[in-house]
Every structure is written in structure tokens, then in C-alpha cells.
Amino acid sequence: MVLPDPRQHAGPPRILTVDTAEHLANQAALEFHVRAKAAVEQRGSFAVALSGGSTPKAMLQLLATPEWQDRIDWPRVHVYWGDERCVPADSANSNYGMARGALLDHVPVVAENVHPMRGELDPRTAAEQYEHLLRGAFPGDATFDLVFLGLGLDGHTASLFPGTPALAERDRLCVANEVESAAVSPWRLTLTYPAINRSRAVIFLVEGAAKAGIVQRVLEEPRHVDLLPAQGVAPRRGTLTWLLDAPAAARLKKA
């Protein structure tokens, strides 16, 4: 698949390396806090899209602590998701369920400002509903103030998996994507490149030596989005940050 390279319209990513996974969670919480404060001051609210997985969970748990939660103007925070498995919200595999248990049930976020993807519905219906929600929330050409993303060992991010139809989407903001190799559910709901790349900021959170090889490939190999979907993330007018712990960054070329 040959696609236009959005990176020609974006600046180089910021690569920030910290020593440990604990430091990674702290830095991610700090990014959340600083960007939330700026968004509320400038636009009156803060729209963030969360990801699933153990790395963002550590950040969310940190934000739920008294030390951190009092720094956030939670009633002005709108919470969205980058992707979701097509499972019920009470499933152990639900990204929404993870975020509720780690953070949302412990902070004074307004219920109407929490916008989960409806994984329990028919995938195409759920994607259409989220598309409608996003179009109403973001009528201009900008979307989220901040999107958190992870990185899979196969180079996927959100539920943009290698070789799947969602990679070619150029109009819709959310689609249902069938992932035949997925262990939990073959159907996923995911933000698309158009949604992610209209964000004001995107942050990849990646930890562990097991991710060092794929981090190096995504950041340093020639662009091939069909094989390495994370390479398609390039905010056109926003910023892109790779927040890595030292083991995950170990194979990157030294400056």
C-alpha cells in the first residue's frame, strides 16, 4: 500500500527517554497535567484520547492519587478512547473498563464528559455512533488536545494493525477494523489517521526491552505504513512525542 507521507507536513518527533517504567508513568502524568492546564486556559476544556495496556494504566493510576488528581480541573476534562475491543464494558479486556478502574472512578470527572466506544454493540454500528459523536464534538479541522498511543510488537498502534482496511481510511474518524490475528476479539473499534493526525499533540508511551526492536524499526526504517502502521502517525499541525524508557530506546542510534 502506497500512501501520501503526512510527515512531509509535520516536524520531527520529540524523543524523550527516561530511566525506568516508573519514571515513564511520572512523565506521562506530567504531560497530561501540563497539556490539560494549557487547554483549559486557552479553550476552556481539555479533550484527551486514552489507550489501553499496562503502560498507560500506570499513568492513570498515578493521576488518581491525591498528589496528582488535585492538579487537574476534572470537570473540564473530556475523555475519549483511541480504540476498543468489541467486548462488553465490564470485560477484563475493555480499555474503557481499565480506565474506569484505574482512574475515572476515583476523580471528579463529569459523567457526561466520558465518551467510551461501545464495544458491546455491532462493530459497524458502534463505529458509526462514535463517528457521529466526534463530528459533533470537533466540527473544525482539529480534534483532540492530546492522544496517548501504545506500540505493538508488530508495529500497530490503536487498532491500526498491519495489512488491515483501516489503514487506507482517509475520511472517517472512527471505523470498525477486523483483525484476524487478535486473540480476544477479531473486531476492533479504532480512531483513524485522519482523527489522530488532526490532534494538537500525540504521545506514544512505550516501555520494556521487548519493544526495543520495533521502536527502532518504526523510528529509523524507511516508511512503510502497511507493515508498520505506527509510522502513519504524524500530526499535521500538532506535536508528536515518543516517551520511552531506557530499555525500549536501547536500539535507537545515538545522536
Model confidence at 181, in pLDDT bands (50, 70, 90)?
A: confident
* Full residue range of the structural domain in which residue 35 is found: 14-245
pLDDT for res 177: 97
Q: Is pLDDT of 182 > 70?
A: no
The verdict on residue 60 lying in a domain is yes
- Position 6 pLDDT exceeds 70: no
Query: How many domains, the chain?
Result: 1
The confidence score (pLDDT) of residue 180 equals: 80
- The residues with which 177 forms a beta bridge, in sequence order, are 188
User: What is the pTM assigned to this prediction?
Assistant: 0.94
CATH value at residue 230: 3.40.50.1360
Interval 77-94: pLDDT, tens: 999 999 999 999 999 999
CA triplet 100, 45, 189: central angle to 5 degrees?
A: 45
pLDDT in tens, 112-163: 999 999 999 999 999 999 999 999 999 989 999 999 999 999 999 999 999 9
- Determine the pLDDT at residue 240: 98
Percent residues over pLDDT 90 in the chain: 90
Domain-embedded: residue 48: yes
Residue 190 lies in a domain: yes
- At residue 254, does pLDDT exceed 70? no
175 domain residue, yes or no: yes
Per-residue pLDDT at 7:
45
Is 221's pLDDT higher than 60? yes
Give tens-digit pLDDT for 35-66: 999 999 999 999 999 999 999 999 999 999 99
Residue 254 lies in a domain: no
- Residue 8 belongs to some domain of the structure: no
Q: For the segment 10-44, what is each residue's pLDDT rounded down to a tens digit?
A: 578 999 999 999 999 999 999 999 999 999 999 99
- What is the mean predicted confidence (pLDDT) over 183-199? 93
| Residue 142 lies inside a defined structural domain of this protein | yes
Residue 218, in any domain of the structure? yes
pLDDT at 109 over 70: yes
Mean pLDDT of the region 85-109: 97
Are 118 and 188 in contact by the 8 Å Cβ rule? The answer is no
